[in-house]
């Protein structure tokens, strides 16, 4: 039996929060992959979901609101032997971090992005996020959007993402399979995880998702980009979950090896000569 190297600690989340399923599944997958905790970096921005890295025994980095992706990309580019995983919210990823979302996908750096999508701003107590369902003023609930809801999976494919998936915290086995495939994928991997916020989102509840999610069947071809684009637009009475799109393209690192030859910051060994060269570069 593999050792339990990654453990999670007490959290500040509400009882029943979907974040619990995600953290438990994440820890299970990291243990299954038998990675060394000092070779894993969990990155987040600001929000309830973004606290994940503070509760798992691995390296962690908490950035500013919306800035988890550039931090993760930087960490990966200077330490390509690290497994870099972002855990953060839909607001952090698609709202405050919207611009970073688009342009970091285009790079296809080998990082994994788990979005805890509760369709609401949880930490700040329930304002609509970019993925909140649409509504109009006559049918307004707290968790709804007067603007057109943001479709993260469609945008990701349009930006050239090489792994695009959706899962649900109410289907833990499915979540574990998709999370593992995302971490194993070489390149940017997005998993939008439907995650009920039991305190502030009274619309998108466990039973709301349970009635609608539908696992992609075995005949679904995740390499067909046009079919995947169409699938990303299904989000209503049925919500498809699974790997909607995957291709094995070259990563940014693999495509541009010459970029990493002469830049002192990229030095991987930690001897004093490199540290001095690094300091000299910045003074
Ligand atoms: C630049 C900036 N704007 C706004 C805030 C306030 N703020 C903190 S967390 C948050 C919402 C987080 O929502 P989400 O990313 O969906 O995560 P959740 O708490 O739902 O897990 C906001 C608006 C902030 N800290 N910084």
Answer yes or no: are the C-beta atoms of 163 and 243 closer than 8 Å: yes
Task: Name the token pair of 98.
Answer: 């919207």
Ligand 1 pocket residue status of 124, Cβ below 6 Å: yes
Ligand 1 pocket residue status of 161, Cβ below 6 Å: no
pLDDT recorded at residue 265: 53
Answer yes or no: are the C-beta atoms of 182 and 163 closer than 8 Å: yes
Phi, psi (degrees; rounded to nearest 5) at 266: -80, -10
Closest C-alpha to ligand 1, atom 26: 65
Mutate to test the pocket of ligand 1, among 22, 95, 96 (most ligand atoms within 8 A of CB): 96
Dist. CA 65 → ligand 1 center (Å): 6
pLDDT recorded at residue 5: 84
Angle (deg, nearest 10), helices 98-107 and 68-78: 30
Instruction: Please give the number of the atom of ligand 1 that sits closest to the Cα of 121.
Output: 13
Ligand 1 pocket residue status of 11, Cβ below 6 Å: no
Dist. CA 278 → ligand 1 center (Å): 34
- Of 109-123, 146-160, 227-241, 258-272, the poorest mean pLDDT is in 258-272
pLDDT > 90 in the chain, percent: 81
Ligand 1 pocket residue status of 92, Cβ below 6 Å: yes
Ligand 1 pocket residue status of 143, Cβ below 6 Å: no
- Average per-residue pLDDT in the chain? 93
- Of 43-57, 108-122, 139-153, 218-232, the poorest mean pLDDT is in 139-153
Q: Mean pLDDT over residues 197-211, rounded?
A: 96
Task: Residue 34: count other Cβ atoms within 10 Å of its Cβ.
Answer: 9
Answer yes or no: are the C-beta atoms of 6 and 37 closer than 8 Å: yes
**pLDDT, tens digit, for every residue of 90-121?**
999 999 999 999 999 999 999 999 999 999 99
């Amino acid at each position: 039996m593999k050792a339990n190297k990654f453990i999670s600690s007490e959290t500040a989340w509400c009882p029943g929060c979907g974040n619990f399923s995600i953290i438990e599944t994440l820890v299970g997958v990291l243990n299954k992959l038998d990675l060394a905790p000092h070779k894993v970096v969990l990155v987040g921005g600001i929000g309830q979901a973004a606290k994940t890295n503070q509760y798992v025994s691995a390296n962690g980095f908490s950035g500013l609101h919306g800035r988890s992706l550039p931090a993760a990309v930087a960490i990966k580019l200077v330490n390509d032997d690290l497994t870099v995983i972002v855990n953060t919210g839909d607001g952090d990823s698609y709202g405050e971090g919207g611009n970073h979302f688009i342009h970091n996908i285009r790079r296809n750096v080998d990082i994994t992005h788990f979005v805890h999508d509760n369709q609401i701003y949880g930490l700040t107590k329930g304002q609509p996020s970019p993925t909140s369902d649409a509504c109009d003023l006559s049918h307004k609930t707290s968790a709804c959007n007067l603007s057109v809801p943001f479709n993260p999976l469609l945008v990701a494919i349009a930006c050239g993402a090489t792994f695009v998936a959706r899962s649900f915290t109410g289907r833990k086995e499915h979540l574990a399979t998709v999370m593992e495939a995302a971490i194993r994928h070489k390149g940017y991997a997005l998993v939008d995880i439907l995650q009920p916020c039991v305190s502030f989102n009274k619309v998108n509840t466990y039973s709301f998702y349970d009635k609608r999610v539908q696992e992609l069947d075995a005949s679904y071809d995740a390499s067909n980009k046009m079919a995947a684009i169409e699938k990303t637009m299904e989000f209503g009475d049925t919500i498809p979950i699974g790997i909607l799109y995957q291709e094995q393209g070259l990563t940014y690192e693999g495509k541009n090896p010459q970029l990493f030859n002469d830049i002192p910051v990229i030095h991987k060994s930690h001897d004093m000569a490199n540290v001095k060269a690094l300091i000299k570069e910045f003074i």
